[in-house]
Amino acid sequence: MAYDSPGMFVQGRFSRRSFLKTTAAGVAASAATGLSFLRIAEAADGVRSIGLGVSEINEIQDKATKDLGFPVAGQAMGYGEMFGKMLNQNDQYEIAEGYYNDMRVMAPAKVWQPLDTKKLKDWDKVTNLTKTGKLTPESSEGQGDAPFKLMWCDADGNIVKGPSQYIIMCPAWHNADSMGYNPKATGRAIESWGELLNKDFKGKVALLNVPQIGVMDAALAIEALGLKKFVDKGNMTKPEIDFLIDYLIPLKKAGHFRAFWENFGQSVNLMVNGEVALESMWSPAVAAIQAEGVPCVYAFPKEGMRGWHGGLAISAKVKGKQLDQAYEYINWWLEGWPGAFVARQGYYHSVPDNAKKYLKPEEWDYWYMGKPAAMDLSDPFGTVIIKKGDVRSGGSYWNRYSKINVWNSIMQENDYLVKRWTEFLTA
Amino acid sequence: MTTIESYARVVDAAPRGLIGGAPAGVGGAAAAQRKYSREPGFPVPILIAPATLWLIVFLFLPLVSIFIFSFWKTTGHSMVPGFTLDNYRAFFVTEGFFDSHSNDFLTPSVFIRTLWTTFRFTFTVMVICLILAYPMAYFLSMQVEDFKWQLALFLLVMVPFWTSYLIRAVAWLPMLGRHGLINEFLLDMGLIEEPVSFFLYSEFSYTMALVQLYVVLAVGPIFFSLAKIDRNLLEAARDMGATPFQIFREIIFPLSLPGIAIGMIFIFVMLMGEFATAVVVYGGKTSTTGTVILSYYAIANYPFAAVNAFMLMLAMMIGVVIILRVVDIRKEL
């Protein structure tokens, strides 16, 4: 579901024309992945890693295999598939490249083992974003499942208030989402989440059809319009959910929403085809849309963005040599090369200085410092996606992350939320 | 059964058309039965063993477990064995239902409404498919005399099925969109001034795409049952002075009923479980029981997903039974 298709773009092959080719390549690649997974399992040597296309990229696992001297195989999956496999088949992988917003499910299920931070070489260099929730002293922690609330655990894997010697997942790549818009279609700059529900854009708005996230974008909009203040948008109460859905249903009936998208490709197509002027969006979509010749800007709303954070966890089933190898792989991640790789895609690394070692100064200045690009910049696969002079919306990494409004979360009232969201869609 | 029909059943069919060579009528079946008991070879139990085993392991057991899981409890990250009716209560009863102080006094739960919406779409699409498929199948089997042409045209009808399901659904986007072919055409002709948005991401596009995706499932069986009709029957009817309409009403239509029933069952079962097309061409603006199952699977509430799956299965079974009640396939075949 969510995030599945960034993989398609991450591979640098996204275009409508190459869709078929990508599919064919995907089939071949997954067959190859299956084989290497089998080999690692049979020999009990090396690590199998599962996750989303954001971090499971052939180039990364190939480089790891070369650097580490044991086989590393990665499998990119759709969100639902990944979630199910991580939860129910932890004998099928050594490494889970997961997300903190699933931690409320994964941690109590004890499918991952506590990681000993003493075995993580660069642990001291990991920023405070995940340790205390404050990237800079002035930062706000943000509502919802901020990683620092769900990262620390005791030696048995129970979530505790940090700091502690143990963590459930080692923080690595992360980003913040907002809305993308076509400035020609909106006729003005979009600077607030409230615009998502602005009647000016009736019939030209799309939301993400993942209830847990879609509802947060809507809540951000409702707050921005001053209609209601939510105590915690990442953990709404039933009356709050009711207020929100009851507000959205008449809007939907009036035709406010053009569509609800479920994967990256859909969000790109909606804007490329001129179906929407404004939609909730993941940042790599901007480059994909611009590549089709359609103007697109990623908004930096004044209320702050919606953050999400990924990381690496080790299955509870892993022991012996493979456990050491799993730690080596995580240490290799922290050391920076993969962080630099995904930085060219717009994702941040939990040890920025380590990523910096592998980035050109111009790349560092653009992606992390928020400065105008001093030259054309390429994505990880060599396609130019940033033109000289472009500026990343929201400024520097530290500026963006001091203003995270809310983190992707699983609410306590998740069941109720899904039920009401279904009602919203059925209305 | 009319006289003409009973007469027809004893006449041995002359081979004709695509499947004319197959043994037809009561005589053929009886002959086949005699063959089983007489001829040496693999005994029947061995012949049906693989299919039975397959069905038990991959169909029967999963279905039973779905039913059992639907009574289990969820812990938020997994399900634990137990027996609770809460999942079913959540499916049927909405908050405020039968509560005289509530506005939702008689509002059925969203899951029932979703199942109803799913059924409503399914039924509409079935009717449209039948209206489109029958004439197509009729033309192919009755009007096209040459076997080669029959085969060629039939394959042509099947061609869309050679491309992936998803591509066939996605292909509607450049056709129906705000800047799609139809809108561009209408704009060029000066028939409209603004692009029409209701072509895409609407009930209209959803129904249309479903019909296009599934109509072939009806054409095939109807075509086969029409092709099987013994042409001597029609001739006999004509000789006895029947009008073309009478021939259709009393011979062709009744004899094609099994094909209609099979086609409708295919479409019904496929559509009730549908979840992907709504995302692509309806922009996710509706939910089907299929999408509800997915949503609850995605949050690891497997028991509730199982309840929905079970209710869907029940609805499908009822639907199939109703179709089979209307048409007694065994009798007709």
Transcribe B68-98 into DSSP letters: HHTTSEE-SSSEE----SHHHHHHH--TTTT
> Per-residue pLDDT for A10 more than 50?
no
Average confidence (pLDDT) over B323-333: 78
Give Cα A328 to chain centroid, integer Å. 24
Which residue in the set B75, B78, B279 is minimally distant from A262, CB to CB?
B279
pLDDT at residue A30 in the model = 65
Instruction: Find, among A53, A276, A54, the residue nearest to A179 by Cα.
Output: A276
* Residues A82-127 pLDDT 10s: 999 999 999 999 999 999 999 999 999 999 999 999 999 999 999 9
Residue B16: band (very low, low, confident or very high) from pLDDT cuts 50, 70, 90: very low
Q: Of A262 and A255, which is predicted with more confidence? A: A255
**Residue A273 with chain B: CB contacts under 8 Å:** 173-174, 177-180
Q: At which residue do the structure tokens 């895609």 appear? A: A345
- Give the number of residues written for chain B: 333
Residues of B with Cβ-Cβ distance to A80 under 8 angstroms: 294, 297-298
- pLDDT category at A419 given cuts 50, 70, 90 is very high
Q: List b or e across B141-180, with b for residues whose CB sees 16 or more CB atoms inside 10 angstroms.
A: bbebeeeeebeebbeebeeeeeeeeeebbbbbbeebbbeb
Least confident of B14-28, B100-114, B115-129: B14-28
* Minimal C-alpha gap between A412 and chain B (Å): 9
Instruction: Work out the average pLDDT over A18-36.
Output: 59
Q: Are B179 and A273 in contact (CB under 8 A)?
A: yes
In this predicted structure, the answer to whether residue B210 has a pLDDT above a threshold of 80 is: yes
Instruction: Name the 3-class secondary structure at A297.
Output: strand
Model pLDDT for residues A287-346, shown as the tens digit of each residue: 889 888 899 999 999 999 999 999 999 999 999 999 999 999 999 999 999 999 999 988
Which residue ranges form the domains of chain A, and what is each CATH number? 6-175+306-357 (3.40.190.10), 177-300+402-426 (3.40.190.10)
- Whether the predicted pLDDT of B316 surpasses 50: yes
Query: Is the pTM here over 0.90, yes or no?
Result: no
Domains along the sequence of chain B with CATH: 3-27+109-332 (1.10.3720.10)
Query: Residue B272: which of B313, B218, B322, B318 has the closest Cα?
Result: B313
Res A173: pLDDT: 96
pLDDT at site A261:
92
Nearest to A61 by CA among B115, A53, A71, B224: A71
Residues of A with CB under 8 A from a CB of B: 1, 79-80, 83-84, 87-88, 104-106, 108-109, 203, 206, 209, 211-212, 252, 257-262, 266, 269, 273-275, 410, 414-415, 418-419, 421-423, 425-426
- What does the pLDDT look like over B143-170, one tens digit per residue? 888 889 988 998 888 887 888 888 888 8
If pLDDT is split at 50, 70 and 90, which confidence band does A12 have?
A: very low
| Non-local CB neighbours of A255 within 8 Å, separated by 6+ positions | A202, A203
* pLDDT tens digits along A233-254: 999 999 999 999 999 999 999 9
**A37 pLDDT exceeds 70?**
yes
Calculate mean pLDDT across residues B227-242.
92
User: Looking at residue A25, what is its pLDDT?
Assistant: 54
- Is the pLDDT assigned to residue B175 strictly greater than 60? yes
Mutation for testing the B interface, residue in A101, A111, A112, A419 having most B CBs under 10 Å: A419
> pLDDT at position B21, please?
41
Q: What percent of chain A has pLDDT over 70?
A: 93
Name the band, by pLDDT with cuts 50, 70 and 90, for residue A231.
very high
Task: State which of A198-207, A387-396, A397-406 shows the largest mean pLDDT.
Answer: A198-207
Residue B24 has pLDDT above 90, yes or no: no
